């Protein structure tokens, strides 16, 4: 198990940007995988990061990225008590792409 930092909210990643509203949490988990869908415009995409804690909880961090300078990226953290519960959710896509289900 390793410590990972996942975030949710909105941020631009610009130095000194104090208008971003986001929260970072640390989790101790095993990374089950990640992948990114880049949009055809090449300036945005969605990344999916999937983790399993020692208790078996599944955490999925979905980050909608914008690569334009100053454009905000947005993220959400989804928590499930098990892989089976996560497979019944709207995040099933990420689990299928990573061949976890």
pLDDT tens, position by position, 26-58? 999 999 999 999 888 777 899 999 999 999 999
The tens digit of pLDDT for each residue in 62-93 reads 999 887 777 888 999 999 999 999 999 999 99
Domain ranges of the chain: 2-97
Question: Six-digit token pair at 9?
Answer: 């909210």
Beta bridge partners of 82: none
- Residue 41 DSSP SS3: coil
Secondary structure of residue 20 in the 3-state scheme: coil
């Amino acid at each position: 198990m390793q410590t990972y930092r996942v975030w949710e909210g909105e941020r631009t990643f610009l130095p000194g940007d104090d208008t971003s509203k986001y929260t970072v949490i640390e989790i101790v988990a095993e990374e089950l995988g990640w992948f990114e869908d880049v949009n055809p415009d090449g300036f945005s995409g969605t990344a999916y990061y999937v983790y399993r804690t020692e208790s078996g909880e599944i955490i999925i961090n979905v980050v909608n990225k914008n690569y334009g300078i100053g454009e905000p990226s947005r993220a959400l953290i989804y928590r499930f008590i098990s892989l089976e519960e996560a497979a019944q959710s709207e995040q099933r896509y990420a689990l299928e792409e990573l061949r976890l289900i």
